[in-house]
Structure 1
Amino acid sequence: MLLPDALLAVAEPDGLLPARQQMALSLGWHIVLACFGVAFPAIIFTMHLIGLRRRDDDALVLAQRWAKVSAVLFAIGAVSGTVLSFEMGLLWPGLMGTFGDVLGLPFAFEGLAFFLEAIFLGIYLYGWGRMPPRQHLLMVLPMAVTGVVGTYCVIAVNAWMNVPVGFDLVDGEVVDVQPWAVLFNPAAFWQFAHMWLAAYMVAGFSVAAVYAVGMLRGRRDRRHRLGFHVAFAFASVSAVLQPVVGHLLGGRLAEWQPAKLAAFELATETESPSPLRLGGFLVDGEVRWALDIPYLGSIIARNSFTEPVRGLEEFSTVPPVNITHWAFQVMVAIGTLLALAVAAYWLARWRGRDLLDHRWFLRFVATTGVLSIVAVEAGWVATEVGRQPWIVYGVMRTPEAAGDNPGLWWLLGATTVVYTLMTIGAVVVLRSMARRWRAGEHDLPSPYAPGRQETSR
């Protein structure tokens, strides 16, 4: 069996490993905040709409508080997003130097969407008590739309890296660029749909988990139950739809990236029909400690009882198999668990049982925010590691995109420190806000507001 191409390389640029580590840190950290930027505005809009239609003060209070939380997360996400923008050229000069004209349009639209989202978030926060109620509510919609548009543009770039289109390569030069073909490449819609649902799972389950913890601590008032149900409803719909979209996306891998599919399935040989392989590791070219379920690999991956999953033996270059396989299986396992859990909750509720009265269920929900984040991270590991050794599939290898600057290790260290401090700052600010809200403070006071200096003398 052939070894991964990275092992066969004679020499790698000094900047390759730090660039990979830096990108993994930045993307892995930023993607969590991006999920809230995509999904939280729609959840806030729903809660605000409930408050207006039902004249529900609890719903309006929750919408206002969630908006303030969203502002904190948006501010931190703006920093990490800006870092990522600079990193693309700094870490991957070969990629951006060659394909900058190809990727310019999606990145330009993403930047515009980001600024518009920030503007309308500011208007919405300032508009409480200053704008007509329905007009104020409508300020959330541009936030939701721009968040989706910006995310689509970024996902379209990643999808293009998996299925490159919209250009010709002549003597190493990119010519005849078709920007719209890049933006709407064949993989863009399905990758975006997969990530869009994942964002609602992260935001929905994370918010629901906060209220589940509150109920475990005895705070079972109506506001906690309302906050839980709205967030959990969004998470439930996305959790049930996600396996369907994931299956439709995965069914195209046999055409787009068959080596990645082989790594997902841990298929060393082409078998007809192919089994579904649960667990296991590839050790010295042999699969060990795996559970094989006959036929199911062909059914799930190829929508057929007989069509085989091409084995790794057929490819001259393959990704790091064990990492790709296990990242994929962790994502699928968590997604399946969450889908079954929400189905059980709503079925029990339909039959007149409220699982919120059971502490074991609340304990499980308290873990769902973390579980959904782990699933998203695992999904991105499967996507990115599974594409290796290519940064642009079939066109440019990852070492060709990296620079020869060992000083990037210092950048990685500095970024780690900055992200750690931002994480600590976010936790401190959000916990302080929650503590004051529980104490009954609606408008968080400023220590230097007008009038305070006089009264303090």
Structure 2
Amino acid sequence: MSDLLAARAQMGTSLAFHIIFSALGVGLPLLFCIAEGLALKTKNRDWMLLTRRWSKGAAILFAIGAVSGTILSFELGLLWPTFMDFGGGVIGYPFMLEGFAFFLEAIFLGLYLYGWNRLSPRAHWLCSFPVWISALVSAWFVVSANAWMNTPTGFVLKNGRPVDIDPIQAMLNPSTPYETIHMMLACYVATGFAVAAVYAWGILRGKRDNYHRKGLMIGMLMAVIATPLQIISGDFNARFLSDAQPTKFAAMEAVFHSGNGLPITIGGLVDPDNRTVHYGIELPKLLSVLAKGDPNAPLKGLDQFAPSDWPNIPLVHLSFDVMVGCGFFGLLVAAVFWISTAIKRRIPLNRVLLWGVVIAGPLAFLAIETGWMVTELGRQPWTIVGFLRTADAATPAPWVTISFLVFSLVYILLAVALIGLLLWVARSPMPQVGMPGQEQPVEKAGV
């Protein structure tokens, strides 16, 4: 393995691991905020039980996510020193603000977790608002920095160095609204389906109590609201990419040849050498319709760009198709679930549908992972588009392959610790809860 490939593999592994905690760290606080609000309003014990379970899980995810996020911050300096030297002064501002948001989230999460017997019910519930808002703001700041790498603004290049830096303009670069909204909605989609999958699995195992039904319902409610919005935001994002990053857009759709009225190609085996796609399903003129709103609109293909500027087209196209496929599968499951609920006026317990919910849980995270692969791999061979190539941004140090193996082991250990802790929480006795400050021990219950 070359040092460049090892550096990319290590960063990719770190991001793939960390993004799971980031997504759940954004989505879970909103869920336990809603659940506790329902508990206070309805005085229903099941809502409070869900709140307690989810807040414990969020605390574990927050801790593991903080560790993996710290590793990522070190890796930026160790693996990509040229990138940090060039772009650190431009995008340091959103990272600084993300740090403030992170500490605000940590403070109120601590108040929330240790305030059950010390705060009034209303004060305790209000502490959850800064938690989920800070988590959402943190995600916005981090993704805005990534957006800048795709459409860099806010500086003037002079003698190979960025000068006249405007950090606000850099943070509000053209890609920011599209990437940030798309990612924030992805967090809610993945969290909703993940939570619903847990309780659907419990129901399939015979636990048909109100606790599991409410957990399934609120997870699917978040999913059915966020998923169509996510798909719409993805459509806006793709339209933007067709103009702002035409190379990435062409790789996503495996468009080798420019032309008018181009089709969408679903699946297939991409052959970059012969510039074609074998066995793909073509939908005539639909790509021009989706990108420009005109069935005969011209679009740029990869033939407009030097092959040295092409990303890994087969992997980008496959990742894009997987992301879209997972998204539409989730939308189908959520739609059928709520249509069935409306018709029967109760939560559906059909085993096929419940299995669909269980499958949608991991597929939602697969969509996030492949979506980030599209974003990151589609930008290649650039780290900062038009200014810094990835090969020039990586460290020249010779130890990167060893570092990759060491950090991979660290992530395996973190994953084992996380799974063990979550299983411990799931199997631990459930308190006989009322409102905050009124808990009494203990009753056996499962997740």
For the criterion TM > 0.5, the same-fold answer is yes
1:247 equivalent in structure 2: 235
1:316-395 correspondence runs (5 A): 316=306, 317-352=309-344, 354=346, 356-395=348-387
Asked if the contact 2:312/2:378 (under 8 Å) is kept, the reply is: yes
1:228 equivalent in structure 2: 216
Asked if the contact 1:273/1:308 (under 8 Å) is kept, the reply is: yes
Asked if the contact 2:432/2:441 (under 8 Å) is kept, the reply is: no
Distance 1:444 1:181 in 2: 54
Distance 2:21 2:441 in 1: 23
Alignment of 1:156 onto 2:156 = no
- TM superposition outliers: structure 1 runs of 4+ over 3 Å: 437-445
Asked if the contact 1:197/1:242 (under 8 Å) is kept, the reply is: yes
**Pairing partner for 2:32 from 44, 49, 57:** 44
Distance 2:343 2:285 in 1: 36
1:118-197 correspondence runs (5 A): 118-197=106-185
1:290 equivalent in structure 2: 280
Cα deviation, 1:186-238, whole Å, max 9, x if unaligned, reads: 11111111001110111111111110111011111111111111111111111
Distance 1:348 1:226 in 2: 16
Asked if the contact 2:265/2:280 (under 8 Å) is kept, the reply is: yes
Distance 2:72 2:250 in 1: 31
**Pairing partner for 1:26 from 14, 18, 23:** 14
Counterpart code for 1:128: W
Cα deviation, 1:315-373, whole Å, max 9, x if unaligned, reads: 11211111111100110111011112211211122222656321111111111111001
Distance 1:269 1:27 in 2: 33
Count matched residues.
Answer: 433
Asked if the contact 1:433/1:444 (under 8 Å) is kept, the reply is: no
Counterpart code for 1:218: G
Counterpart code for 2:338: W
- Which is worse superposed, 14-23 or 199-208? 14-23
Counterpart code for 2:294: S
Distance 1:256 1:444 in 2: 58
Asked if the contact 2:101/2:134 (under 8 Å) is kept, the reply is: yes
SS at match of 2:336: helix
Distance 1:164 1:87 in 2: 21
Counterpart code for 1:307: A
Asked if the contact 2:251/2:317 (under 8 Å) is kept, the reply is: yes
Counterpart code for 1:361: L
Distance 1:311 1:225 in 2: 49
**Pairing partner for 1:308 from 298, 303, 306:** 298
TM-score w.r.t. the length of structure 2 is: 0.94
Asked if the contact 2:33/2:128 (under 8 Å) is kept, the reply is: yes
Distance 2:147 2:54 in 1: 32
2:263 equivalent in structure 1: 275
CA RMSD, 1 decimal: 1.7
1:99-110 correspondence runs (5 A): 99-110=87-98
Distance 1:27 1:443 in 2: 41
Cα deviation, 1:151-170, whole Å, max 9, x if unaligned, reads: 11110011000000000111
Distance 2:431 2:40 in 1: 25
2:51 equivalent in structure 1: 63
Counterpart code for 1:81: G
Asked if the contact 1:209/1:369 (under 8 Å) is kept, the reply is: yes
Distance 2:423 2:107 in 1: 26
Alignment of 1:257 onto 2:245 = yes
Asked if the contact 1:201/1:372 (under 8 Å) is kept, the reply is: yes
Asked if the contact 1:18/1:406 (under 8 Å) is kept, the reply is: no
Counterpart code for 2:301: G
Distance 2:353 2:326 in 1: 16
Q: CA deviation at 1:271?
A: 2.2
Counterpart code for 1:296: L
TM-score w.r.t. the length of structure 1 is: 0.92
Distance 1:420 1:260 in 2: 32
Alignment of 1:396 onto 2:396 = no
Counterpart code for 1:394: G
SS at match of 1:105: helix
Alignment of 1:86 onto 2:80 = no
Counterpart code for 1:413: L
Alignment of 1:206 onto 2:198 = no
2:41 equivalent in structure 1: 53
Asked if the contact 2:255/2:301 (under 8 Å) is kept, the reply is: yes
Counterpart code for 2:71: V
**Pairing partner for 1:435 from 405, 427, 438:** 427
Asked if the contact 2:241/2:249 (under 8 Å) is kept, the reply is: yes
Distance 1:295 1:27 in 2: 36
Q: CA deviation at 1:313?
A: 0.7
Q: CA deviation at 1:440?
A: 7.9
SS at match of 1:166: coil
Counterpart code for 2:131: M
Q: CA deviation at 1:53?
A: 0.5
Asked if the contact 2:257/2:303 (under 8 Å) is kept, the reply is: yes
Task: Report percent identity of matched pairs.
Answer: 39
Counterpart code for 2:129: L
Distance 1:412 1:111 in 2: 26
Q: CA deviation at 1:411?
A: 1.5
Asked if the contact 2:36/2:125 (under 8 Å) is kept, the reply is: yes
